[in-house]
Structure 1
């Protein structure tokens, strides 16, 4: 009899349909709320994405494998699994969640789940947005490191890092297998995008970085394992029914009754390639949350770095993002694992460094070394893309929505920054950051973060930026909350055409609250 290994994960939900993802230990038929799907095999793992249709406002469900009920587990004290298709009033978000039991402070998402269990369903968020570093492939737990040592012959793979699909699968089992997290993901629809640690630290920082990695004997296997596992564990559930119906890879996977891992790894290798300023696969996607639209932007795999170009995403993909900022909604949410608006000094430094890294000889090498050493790889380090994003957001802020919010993580401190352009916009524009969920930054780094927000530091680096030829910013911003340190989960509450950002610590304390919206709205 097949057993449930991981899940159920409630992924896509709209007004009348949903998808639920599971992993099992053997091939079987998965039934959820009267809807059935056959598993597909990838390596030693088996998976299914069950599509549910014609749902009402509230549907309780269980999981059955070949007719046997396996979830909820017998005697479970957790609230029953339920799919809610009603109004979206609250979204939870954040990034950077190390595996349980890592010594990086209390897990804010686990603590959040424990509190939700005691609350009525009406108090649960209607969506969860995870903005990168869902797993740490280059910083596994001690248990996983020992498991890797025991299974390897010590010839090719890097010590203490995962490489292959099955090794990535173990990371997902660790991070999503926690009982409270498992329950949370079964009742709150979750959208996800990767950042660097889902593959490897500094992934796609620069063309130099890519060449250095390509020379590693294990890198080809690493990128195949990373992207194929990302497609299965994270990306597949981001897609809605229409997207799934026209997804060629998913059609091939469902049609194949043998191991699809070779197919997925071939796809992964092609997805990583850059050809004439283009990528074969886009990971950005769009979700509708009632009167809010989420545009999730891939800021890692979609980078264009070869042939002298340096773009966060290709022109073709950026055009798709721009088109999708238009529509009838009250709140436009742009999900970007990397912040658009950063501490001013760091923002200027990244643009300065990009110019320096283009120079020949020792100057360019030194700038590249600094770039990789201190992670100068955010939007301002892709200045052309930074300016294009700024123009897009300014235009979107005059298209009828009440707020335009960029949701981000990565930087290991949380804050709110409100943006202003040369001409007033109709919508409030804000950068909302929640980082980390479970990877608390060492306290000795905190003074540096605070200094990077200071006016003197900003003035110095702006002057330096002007001297080396960095153009003036198209957008000006001011920090209205933060920097906040420690593990947290952010909430975005919607009240008509207003929104409120709240930051909730692992201890359950509200450490920030910022109202977003104009008085006349």
Structure 2
């Protein structure tokens, strides 16, 4: 159980069968790890273990009590209707999974996580998903709206979070980031710049240093570890917002920024209205997460050149380390607590005690060499969650070419995790099988020398990692049923995939849901999708020029009443599996509460409504 409290938690955890008394298990939180991040900020990670195994696949309830008084009953809207304690199930199977990514606080859409909670409030506990898996961009550290930054700085003061010092940076202390010193929307020039990737022409002309971070929305980029942690707290819970003051207008802003503030304020207000639902959802269902680039910064480790620029600037390295520490405290720690040994904890505790450049540098080295962000959930089928950001297959031909999403060693670890299983669910932040036309455009832009312009990081972009991945699918020990859950791309789709020219091909499903609160710009997606269907049908000669020419990929058709095969709506994905690990249902719950199902190709072909629609690739 993960929580953040304003003081050391002295209460006890109580586990019940249904609503029966007395509890079947009791344990005090003071026996578990609690990390102080500030005078009123403690991160609690409790691993409860019993002499006898906890019951699985049956409804249980829990409470947190202090001297006989429930702390959870004091929280508004924390329980579902009719509950006196929080209900949940410890799953042994992963037969029903909710999943997705990309939750952007000031996006104009509806929050799909809030919609999922509202749905769960109307059904029994047995109807909920076994797991909620969030596959990246849980925060947007490089795209923070003005009102959110204003709230983050207030939160740091409210919680008394400890200050941090830098050297070789544009600031010496993170307290200098207060709005009175560093204006809202005024951070771009503070961030590190470098000339290390300049070509000979730029060097000859003595061109100005370029930003190390490639995001185009760095006006309020998060910098300190406190800011990263504060943002997680603000996007997952309503608790702190009631103590913050967020004006509708900010007179100190330049006139040209006033309208931007008001627009963002309105969007953020709508986002905050759903936070009680999100907190309640997280309390009632097992949640797992993995990071993608925006949890750190846009294009994180995309190319060797990007990495060179960061590694050449201590300030940039420090920001990346702060982001990863924020990820650890608020995401990674709860995924697999036992993965973090004393080799990780000792320098981390030294940093928390000192918050100085020397301890930050030690922590930078630890995180740079840490290779256990990936993990496996021991359900049936097992769920293998991979890290596609920190163990990359770097291009040897050019600093400007995209790195492979996983290097040889990490792919071999992945192979070991999935082999000799009848079925497996793999969580890959980026789709292993994406839209061919979009990947082709990214490839062309990369050839022209601008990989950062289109986020050219798909599995097929690097020949080494692409071929190694495809060989895993071709291997005779590959699971018969292989479900891939992904996000990242800001639209949703489902593919059925088979090996060509194979009598015993594994059955592969690429299921992508993105985002919880983000969408792809229109009309670009509709145009790309139409062109993709016309250019890359299954027998198209253009398929010969792709790395997936030995695979037949067929799209599932969404029943949303349109001809488009890509769904461009805020949504959370839902997957229900048969006993053999194959999907029985693939669908979406949109932020507005509507359901969309992806139908298998054979069902679509037998349906008159879809008879004339090209559903193949």
Within the candidate set 503, 512, 516, 2:588 is matched to: 503
**Coordinate RMSD, CA, aligned:** 3.4
For residues 302-341 of structure 1, give each alpha carbon's deviation from its aligned partner in whole angstroms, at most 9, with x where no partner exists.
Answer: 2243755843223222211100112445x31111110111
Whole-angstrom CA distance in 1 between matches of 2:463 and 2:441: 11
Within the candidate set 273, 290, 303, 1:193 is matched to: 290
Higher strand share: 1
Q: Does 1:162 align with 2:222?
A: yes
Q: Does 1:445 align with 2:530?
A: no
Over 6 Å off, 4+ runs: 65-68, 253-258, 260-264, 457-462
Within the candidate set 388, 408, 411, 1:318 is matched to: 411
Q: Judge conservation of contact 1:348–1:461 (CA < 8 Å) in 2.
A: no
Whole-angstrom CA distance in 2 between matches of 1:23 and 1:432: 33
Q: Does 1:131 align with 2:130?
A: no
For residues 364-392 of structure 1, give each alpha carbon's deviation from its aligned partner in whole angstroms, at most 9, with x where no partner exists.
Answer: xxx332x1111111111122212211221
For residues 204-257 of structure 1, give each alpha carbon's deviation from its aligned partner in whole angstroms, at most 9, with x where no partner exists.
Answer: 1111222344566741231011001111110111116xx35x733565489889
How far off is 1:81 after superposition?
1.8
Whole-angstrom CA distance in 1 between matches of 2:97 and 2:322: 31
Q: Secondary structure at the match of 1:51?
A: coil
Q: Residues 257 and 412 of structure 1: is their aligned pair in 2 closer, same or farther, counting only changes over 3 Å?
A: closer
Q: Which runs of 5+ in 2 are unaligned?
A: 15-25, 154-176, 183-188, 192-217, 238-274, 558-564, 604-617
Q: Does 1:40 align with 2:40?
A: no
Q: Which residue of 2 aligns with 1:270?
A: 365
How far off is 1:87 after superposition?
4.8
Q: Judge conservation of contact 2:555–2:601 (CA < 8 Å) in 1.
A: no
Report 1:95-114 matches (<5 A): 95-99=101-105, 102-114=106-118
Within the candidate set 297, 302, 310, 2:386 is matched to: 297
Which TM-score applies when normalising by structure 1?
0.80
Q: Judge conservation of contact 1:303–1:313 (CA < 8 Å) in 2.
A: yes
> Number of residue pairs matched?
470
Whole-angstrom CA distance in 2 between matches of 1:382 and 1:224: 26
Q: Which residue of 2 aligns with 1:24?
A: 5
Q: Which residue of 2 aligns with 1:341?
A: 433
Q: Residues 427 and 465 of structure 1: is their aligned pair in 2 closer, same or farther, counting only changes over 3 Å?
A: closer
Whole-angstrom CA distance in 1 between matches of 2:578 and 2:548: 36
Q: Which residue of 1 aligns with 2:468?
A: 388
Q: Does 1:282 align with 2:263?
A: no
Q: Which residue of 1 aligns with 2:485?
A: 407
Q: Judge conservation of contact 2:498–2:506 (CA < 8 Å) in 1.
A: no
Whole-angstrom CA distance in 2 between matches of 1:266 and 1:86: 40
Q: Residues 66 and 257 of structure 1: is their aligned pair in 2 closer, same or farther, counting only changes over 3 Å?
A: farther
Q: Which residue of 2 aligns with 1:454?
A: 533
Q: Residues 253 and 122 of structure 1: is their aligned pair in 2 closer, same or farther, counting only changes over 3 Å?
A: farther
Q: Does 1:488 align with 2:571?
A: yes
Q: Judge conservation of contact 1:351–1:383 (CA < 8 Å) in 2.
A: no
How far off is 1:272 after superposition?
5.5
Q: Residues 87 and 28 of structure 1: is their aligned pair in 2 closer, same or farther, counting only changes over 3 Å?
A: closer
Q: Judge conservation of contact 1:41–1:47 (CA < 8 Å) in 2.
A: yes
Report 1:160-309 matches (<5 A): 160-177=220-237, 178-214=275-311, 218-239=315-336, 243-244=338-339, 247-249=341-343, 252=346, 259=353, 265-266=360-361, 268-270=363-365, 273=368, 279-289=369-379, 291-305=380-394, 308=397
For residues 245-294 of structure 1, give each alpha carbon's deviation from its aligned partner in whole angstroms, at most 9, with x where no partner exists.
Answer: x7335654898897486799556522554xxxxx44231111122x2111
How far off is 1:183 after superposition?
0.8
Which TM-score applies when normalising by structure 2?
0.69
Whole-angstrom CA distance in 2 between matches of 1:434 and 1:52: 32
Q: Does 1:432 align with 2:511?
A: yes
Whole-angstrom CA distance in 2 between matches of 1:117 and 1:260: 45
Q: Residues 50 and 455 of structure 1: is their aligned pair in 2 closer, same or farther, counting only changes over 3 Å?
A: same
How far off is 1:136 after superposition?
0.5
Q: Residues 59 and 284 of structure 1: is their aligned pair in 2 closer, same or farther, counting only changes over 3 Å?
A: same
How far off is 1:153 after superposition?
3.0
Q: Judge conservation of contact 1:83–1:187 (CA < 8 Å) in 2.
A: yes
Which has the larger Rg?
2
Q: Residues 384 and 117 of structure 1: is their aligned pair in 2 closer, same or farther, counting only changes over 3 Å?
A: same
Whole-angstrom CA distance in 2 between matches of 1:343 and 1:108: 23
Q: Secondary structure at the match of 1:393?
A: helix
Q: Which runs of 5+ in 1 are unaligned?
A: 1-19, 274-278, 357-366
Q: Residues 455 and 425 of structure 1: is their aligned pair in 2 closer, same or farther, counting only changes over 3 Å?
A: farther
Q: Which residue of 1 aligns with 2:198?
A: none
Whole-angstrom CA distance in 2 between matches of 1:438 and 1:129: 15
